[in-house]
């Protein structure tokens, strides 16, 4: 039985008992004070006075009527009294029993005051223990949002801080700082200024001097997209957090917003401590009742190698600048990814343009947010390595080759003649597709040669063969053999890397096109040209640099592994607490060892024709790619792994509007391998663009 039901039952019983007591008392009282209306007399009836008899009869009727009225009032009064006593008893039960604990807690709270002790956020380290993100103390001025309307105060703050009044008002009104009672007016304020404000409280009412721990990024912009940034916790997070959540936030806390800071938030955040003060009636502390120390967050080691990451950031920026100097004026963005082939760990991940996480750690102003997410600045906040989506171009031909080999479209004797243009569709040769060598051609090429020279005609034939197989099936039972095989290599889905914001890319087929062009039915049919363009990595295909690097790493090792940036958690002494476990993809792509070896041979031949890799003391296998993007300059790709016999490193680079793959992106990857093998190559210098895909 619930407490509420018990309270109701007690109230009813009290009502009945009180009412019964009143009724019994009345009965007893009446018996003791009963009066006789007529007295017996021994007299003759005929001598009774008729006038007295009428008087006696009337007096009895009146008394009987008054007695009935008094009895009714008595019962009503008794019911009221019983109800009052019942209600009081229920309330007493509620106060003394049901709400006892709550009132005890409230009384205790009135006697004490609890101050939360924030925990130090865990550090982020590289795979060798180098600190990538740390903490440092900072002194700051804070105040409530309403201070922005106090113009004389804002003017005085502007004078002592040397900050324009508009910026001070913006900081006070900036809701991105979260729901904490005080907003940050200025950070890292000089001690002289802090002393002046503290000594002149009357001039700065409501302005507080605080010391807080803030995030510290010692390498500035290095690995900014991997590390992410922190910011004040938002009201939405505070209101939506569950009681059993692994981390409980309070107003004023910092929370990971992107990158590793967000991905490993639970590990990094730590747990608040508390100090309970005993207070007097005015709320002034008189002593400490209890204290629990905060628990610092864990230090998280990433798979990133700080030295390689620093080199990767530099090489990507120099490659883009050199591409502009070499006749590609719109080259302004790109990405470079380096994976450990053996376990899928990300050794370096660069995206350009970039940003400084320190600028965002205390909240983002509207102007800064617009700058970091605007088209005019190249969207610096976007991690192009995992969220940039591009046509794969000729880098895709390795997977077209494996698809053709697996499905029997390519065999040991398969060769195609390239005259520079291909006419498969009709007799009058109106719809020809060109090879990148047009008007010249490659002549007769087999698979390995087609990969080496990136012959489009060879792969047009492979794509067309897949189309014919598809279109000749019953319409209601058609199977996308080509697309299904490509998906098994991780395209058109996220890789599962432990970073937020990864894009899935796109792998078009008949179903997708029917939906995408639903408004123009004449364009919605899946045509042979759609498949042949897809076979060379063009058309509506979109991939991310991480997808490409991870898929080539899969070709190198012979199986797919989920890429990751988490390496391990270490304690205060640097000892390993938790380590990453290699996670193989469940549905592995199918191929025969001999088929993979043929593709590997073609990829080695690609690199051997470029002298740029002559200084690398390892056999490198890779593929160029030059993507066509409508309304923009050529997209430059290069992806490679080494050593080819025992692969350890895989790198992929893309430069938007950077020219040809063998002129721009290839230089960035070559410099990365040079750094890995300890070879000094000097400044990055790209080459003039060619038409090669």
Q: How confident is the model at residue 19 (pLDDT cuts 50, 70, 90)?
A: low
For the cut 70, the answer to whether the pLDDT of residue 93 exceeds it is: no
Are 337 and 352 in contact, with CB atoms under 8 Å apart? no
For the cut 80, the answer to whether the pLDDT of residue 648 exceeds it is: yes
For the cut 80, the answer to whether the pLDDT of residue 6 exceeds it is: no
For the cut 90, the answer to whether the pLDDT of residue 538 exceeds it is: yes
pLDDT tens per residue, range 582-612: 999 999 999 999 999 999 999 999 999 999 9
Which pLDDT value is given to residue 21? 74
Which pLDDT value is given to residue 500? 96
Are 252 and 232 in contact, with CB atoms under 8 Å apart? yes
Choosing among 3.30.70.2860, 3.90.1310.10, 3.30.9.10, 3.40.50.720, the CATH entry for 119-302 is 3.90.1310.10
For the cut 70, the answer to whether the pLDDT of residue 309 exceeds it is: yes
Higher pLDDT, 295 or 72: 295
For the cut 60, the answer to whether the pLDDT of residue 542 exceeds it is: yes
Rounded distance, CA 527 to CA 510, Å? 8
* C-alpha triplet 578, 582, 583: angle, nearest 5°: 120
Written as six digits, the tokens of 56 are 């006696």
Q: Which of 19-33, 212-226, 447-461, 549-563 has the lowest mean pLDDT?
A: 19-33
Written as six digits, the tokens of 79 are 């019911």
Q: How confident is the model at residue 661 (pLDDT cuts 50, 70, 90)?
A: very high
Q: How confident is the model at residue 42 (pLDDT cuts 50, 70, 90)?
A: very low
Higher pLDDT, 677 or 37: 677
Higher pLDDT, 209 or 116: 209
pLDDT tens per residue, range 491-536: 999 999 999 999 999 999 999 999 999 999 889 999 999 999 999 9
Residue extents of the structural domains in the chain:
3-108, 119-302, 393-557
Query: Cis before residue 439, ω within 30 degrees of 0?
Result: yes
pLDDT tens per residue, range 224-258: 999 999 988 877 888 888 888 888 888 778 899 99
Which pLDDT value is given to residue 119? 86
Q: How confident is the model at residue 348 (pLDDT cuts 50, 70, 90)?
A: very high
Q: How confident is the model at residue 488 (pLDDT cuts 50, 70, 90)?
A: very high
Which pLDDT value is given to residue 78? 63
Q: Nearest CA to 163 among 139, 187, 130, 195?
A: 187
On the CB side of 340, CA atoms within 13 Å amount to 17
Which pLDDT value is given to residue 243? 80
Written as six digits, the tokens of 662 are 């063998």
Q: Nearest CA to 548 among 608, 606, 620, 622?
A: 622
For the cut 50, the answer to whether the pLDDT of residue 322 exceeds it is: yes
Q: Nearest CA to 415 among 479, 369, 353, 462?
A: 462
Per DSSP, the three-state class of 649 is strand
Written as six digits, the tokens of 355 are 């940003």
* C-alpha triplet 507, 513, 518: angle, nearest 5°: 145
Which pLDDT value is given to residue 147? 87
Residues 6 or more apart whose CB falls under 8 angstroms from that of 673 comprise: 613, 616, 618, 620, 640, 642, 649, 651
- At the second CATH level, the architecture of 393-557 is 3-Layer(aba) Sandwich (3.40)
Average confidence (pLDDT) over 660-671: 96
For the cut 60, the answer to whether the pLDDT of residue 98 exceeds it is: no
Sign of CA dihedral 556, 557, 559, 561: negative
pLDDT tens per residue, range 364-380: 667 788 888 888 889 99
Domain 119-302 shares a fold with domain 393-557: no
Q: Which of 48-62, 299-313, 512-526 has the lowest mean pLDDT?
A: 48-62
pLDDT over 70 percentage in the chain: 80
Q: How confident is the model at residue 53 (pLDDT cuts 50, 70, 90)?
A: low
- Tokens 């290839």 correspond to 666
- Tokens 């209601």 correspond to 476
Q: How confident is the model at residue 386 (pLDDT cuts 50, 70, 90)?
A: very high
For the cut 90, the answer to whether the pLDDT of residue 485 exceeds it is: yes
pLDDT over 90 percentage in the chain: 55
Other beta carbons within 10 angstroms of residue 68's beta carbon come to: 9
Mean pLDDT of the chain: 86
């Amino acid at each position: 039985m619930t407490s509420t039901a018990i309270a109701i039952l007690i109230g009813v019983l009290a009502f009945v008992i009180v009412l019964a007591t009143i009724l019994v008392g009345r009965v007893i009282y009446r018996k003791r004070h009963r009066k006789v209306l007529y007295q017996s007399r021994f007299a003759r009836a005929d001598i009774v006075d008729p006038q007295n008899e009428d008087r006696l009869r009337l007096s009895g009727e009146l008394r009987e009527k008054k007695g009935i009225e008094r009895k009714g009032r008595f019962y009503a009064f008794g019911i009221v009294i019983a109800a009052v006593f019942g209600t009081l008893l229920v309330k007493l039960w509620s106060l003394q029993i049901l709400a006892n604990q709550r009132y005890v807690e409230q009384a205790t709270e009135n006697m004490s005051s609890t101050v939360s002790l924030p925990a130090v956020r865990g550090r982020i380290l590289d795979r060798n223990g180098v600190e990538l993100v740390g903490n440092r103390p900072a002194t700051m001025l804070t105040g409530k949002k309403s201070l922005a309307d106090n113009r004389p105060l804002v003017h005085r703050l502007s004078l002592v801080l040397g900050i324009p009044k508009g910026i001070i008002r913006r900081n006070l009104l900036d809701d991105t700082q979260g729901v904490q009672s005080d907003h940050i007016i200025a950070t890292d304020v000089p001690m002289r200024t802090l002393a002046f404000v503290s000594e002149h409280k009357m001039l700065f009412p409501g302005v507080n001097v605080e010391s807080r721990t803030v995030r510290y990024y010692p390498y500035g912009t290095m690995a900014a997209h991997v590390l992410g940034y922190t910011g004040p916790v938002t009201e939405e997070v505070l209101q939506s957090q569950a009681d059993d959540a692994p981390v409980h936030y309070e107003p004023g806390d910092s929370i990971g917003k992107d990158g590793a800071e967000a991905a490993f938030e639970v590990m990094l955040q730590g747990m608040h401590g508390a100090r309970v003060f005993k207070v007097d009636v005015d709320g002034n502390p008189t002593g400490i009742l209890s204290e629990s120390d905060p628990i610092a967050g864990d230090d998280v080691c990433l798979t990133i190698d700080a030295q390689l990451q620093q080199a990767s950031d530099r090489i990507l920026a120099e490659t883009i600048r050199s591409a502009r100097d070499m006749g590609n004026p719109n080259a302004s963005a790109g990405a470079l990814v380096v994976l450990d082939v053996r376990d899928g760990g990300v050794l370096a991940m660069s995206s350009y343009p970039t940003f400084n996480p320190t600028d965002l750690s205390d909240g983002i102003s509207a102007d800064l947010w617009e700058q970091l997410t605007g088209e005019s600045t190249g969207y610096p906040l976007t991690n192009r390595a995992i969220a940039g989506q591009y046509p794969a171009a000729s880098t895709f031909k390795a997977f077209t080759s494996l698809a053709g080999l697996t499905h029997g479209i390519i065999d040991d004797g398969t060769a195609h003649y390239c005259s520079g243009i291909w006419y498969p569709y009709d007799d009058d040769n109106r719809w020809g597709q060109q090879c990148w060598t047009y008007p010249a051609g490659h002549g007769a090429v087999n698979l390995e040669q087609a990969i080496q020279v990136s012959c489009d005609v060879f792969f047009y034939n492979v794509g067309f063969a897949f189309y014919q197989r598809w279109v000749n099936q019953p319409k209601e039972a058609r199977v996308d053999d080509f697309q299904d095989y490509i998906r098994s290599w991780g395209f058109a889905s996220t890789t599962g890397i432990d970073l937020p914001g990864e894009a899935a890319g796109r792998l078009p087929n008949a179903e997708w096109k029917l939906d995408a062009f639903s408004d123009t039915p004449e364009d919605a049919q899946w045509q042979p040209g759609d498949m042949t363009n897809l076979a060379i990595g063009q058309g509506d295909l979109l991939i991310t640099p991480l997808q490409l690097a991870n898929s080539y790493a899969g070709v190198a090792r012979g199986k797919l592994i989920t890429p990751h940036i988490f390496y391990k958690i270490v304690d205060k002494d640097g000892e390993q607490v938790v380590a990453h476990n290699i996670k193989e993809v469940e549905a592995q792509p199918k191929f025969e060892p001999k088929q993979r070896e043929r593709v590997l041979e073609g990829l080695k031949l690609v690199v051997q024709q470029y002298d740029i890799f002559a200084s690398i003391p390892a056999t490198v296998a890779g593929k160029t790619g030059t993507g066509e993007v409508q309304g923009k300059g050529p997209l430059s790709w290069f992806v490679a792994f080494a050593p080819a016999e025992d692969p350890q490193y895989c790198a992929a680079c893309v430069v938007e509007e950077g020219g040809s793959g063998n002129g721009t992106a290839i230089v960035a990857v070559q410099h990365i391998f040079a750094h890995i093998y300890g070879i000094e190559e000097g400044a990055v210098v790209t080459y003039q663009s060619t038409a090669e895909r």
